[in-house]
Amino acid sequence: MFTTPITDISASVRDCEPSVTIPMTGEEYLESLRDDREIWIYGERVKDVTQHPAFRNCARMVARLYDAMHDSDMNHPTARRMGFLVY
């Protein structure tokens, strides 16, 4: 069995501190979808999933959820009970 004595535990604790991540806005989310990903539907390549009729409504709905996380009205306790993440 290999064991290594820990001489400085404070260093390992500092490395495990959680970082704060702010969620994207809806526009940032939509922009993140506008990359060179390769999506095909009915034998044709989709150039922009945020504009294509088969995907745009889904993309916009997810973008609205991202925007809801930044909405100050969503900081109400009722919104939290509904399952919205509030930062």
SS (H, E, C) 19-82: CCCCCCCHHHHHHHHCCCCCEEECCEEECCCCCCCCCHHHHHHHHHHHHHHHCHHHHCHHHHHC
- Using CA atoms, how far apart are residues 47 and 30, in angstroms rounded to an integer? 14
Q: What is the pLDDT of residues 32-76, one digit of tens each?
A: 999 989 999 999 999 999 999 999 999 999 999 888 888 776 555
Which residue segments constitute the domains of the chain, with CATH numbers given?
Answer: 23-81 (1.10.3140.10)
- Structure pTM? 0.61
Q: What is the pLDDT of residues 11-26, one digit of tens each?
A: 555 566 667 678 889 9
- Using CA atoms, how far apart are residues 66 and 83, in angstroms rounded to an integer? 13
